[in-house]
Amino acid sequence: MAFDYDLFVIGGGSGGVRAARVAASDAGARVGLAEASRYGGTCVIRGCVPKKLMVFASEYAPALADAQAFGWQIEATGFDWPAFRGKLEAELDRLEGIYRKMLAGSGVETFDQRARLADPHTVELADGTRKTARHILIATGGWPVKPEMENADLALTSNEVFHLDALPKSLLIVGGGYIACEFAGIFNGLGTQVTQYYRGAQILRGFDDEARGLVAEEMQQAGVDLHLGTNILGMERDGSGLRVKATNGTERTFDQVLFATGRAPNTAGMGLEEAGVNLGRRGEVMVDEYSQTSVPSVYAIGDVTDRLNLTPVAIREGMAFVETVFRGNPTPVDHASVPTAIFTQPEMGTVGLSEEAAREHGPIEVYCTSFKPMHKGFAGRTDRVLMKLVVCAETRRVLGCHIVAPGAGEMIQLAGIAVKMGATKEDFDRTVAVHPTMSEEIVTMRAPVRTG
């Protein structure tokens, strides 16, 4: 059978674009790609990039206060949200243009419309056009979900939060994952009164307990009104705001409510199950280690598979897909020891196993220090940072590294190389410290604080 394309990609996010571009330019494949929204996907348009720019913006208020403590004569007159939002939208337009240009330059034919699977080798576009392909790659990412409750539509999600007409004076954030905590820090830094409800016992579930505990403490010290073991019971319009009833018995009115209560794979209405593609309980596309689905001609990468939902992982999965399918070199994706940054305030960087997870694998040693960094102490602040290594007691291999500090994301990228290579605690010890830095503590901790 003659196909219109060697590969058709559904989804124009980072993973889908990389796979399409490399398959076309490097492997010589005929490639088509459909995207219903904007090119760049969640990360570029409504995730990592705009969020990190908002983090930068929110950090200037404490930085200005620190500058005054260091002797600078500076006066801040407030934050201009409309001016920032205008520049933010212009930057996102620029980045989307780059994605479009890269696809065109690689010879990928693009369709700016929704697509669904008609059969194992056919994609149906929103206008009714059908395209056939030898291989089809699903890369449609994820989508924020709201709790099933009355008036849930009154609240924002992370999709809409970048496009507010005005900065809210008060904001309730519901959720305790990294998205909720990052936006709590952002809006708190921009001058909004932030309240956060999380139904669990501690925020950032799944991360190292000691590290997430410090993040929670520092968020509260910075002004975030964090309520643990608390959830939302009901919400209704109250004048220009939203009146919220909580499980802790309170009723309060906020200018805006943001639900950051999870994301679901974006598979609804795509015809996947009808074509024979197996989906999991949450709607995720089930794949093997080579990203192949239950239908041999259909593959899936990125958040839609709900494996490890990080942009660089989706890109790696896209590259491995091209290597496997178009270069005849079966390449699984290694999801172990992936460095991760959480842009809370303070920032957290982590790679490998948490202390709690490591204990399940055998005896460990824990090396940890928490201290007030030099520049914060000089400015009269009480902020603390944390440096932590989790070490296998038998092999001496560093199983996990956890950092809570300004610039933790930058630090963990380099620490991740050592952990991925299998460095031992003695390898860290043999490394000369860079002084005076916060990160030098990673190589100067000599005695474990806990064993077992």
Measure the CA–CA gap between 172 and 123, rounded to whole angstroms.
42
Residue 76 has pLDDT above 90, yes or no: no
| Cβ-Cβ contacts under 8 Å for 83 (sequence gap 6 or more) | none
Question: What backbone phi and psi angles, to 5 degrees, belong to 206?
Answer: 100, -20
Task: Compute CA 376 distance to the chain's CA centroid, rounded to the nearest angstrom.
Answer: 27
Question: What backbone phi and psi angles, to 5 degrees, belong to 310?
Answer: -135, 140
Catalytic residues: 435
Task: Compute CA 60 distance to the chain's CA centroid, rounded to the nearest angstrom.
Answer: 22
Name the band, by pLDDT with cuts 50, 70 and 90, for residue 155: very high
pLDDT computed for residue 1 by the predictor? 76
As a whole number, mean pLDDT of residues 51-57 equals 97
Q: Note the pLDDT tens digit of each residue in 243-292.
A: 999 999 999 999 999 999 999 999 999 999 999 999 999 999 999 999 99
Please state the pTM of the whole predicted model: 0.96
Instruction: Tell me the residue ranges of DSSP E strands in 63-169.
Output: 109-111, 115-119, 122-125, 130-138, 142-144
Strands 5-10 and 31-34 come out as parallel
Q: Note the pLDDT tens digit of each residue in 173-190.
A: 999 999 999 999 999 999
Q: Note the pLDDT tens digit of each residue in 301-328.
A: 999 999 999 999 999 999 999 999 999 9
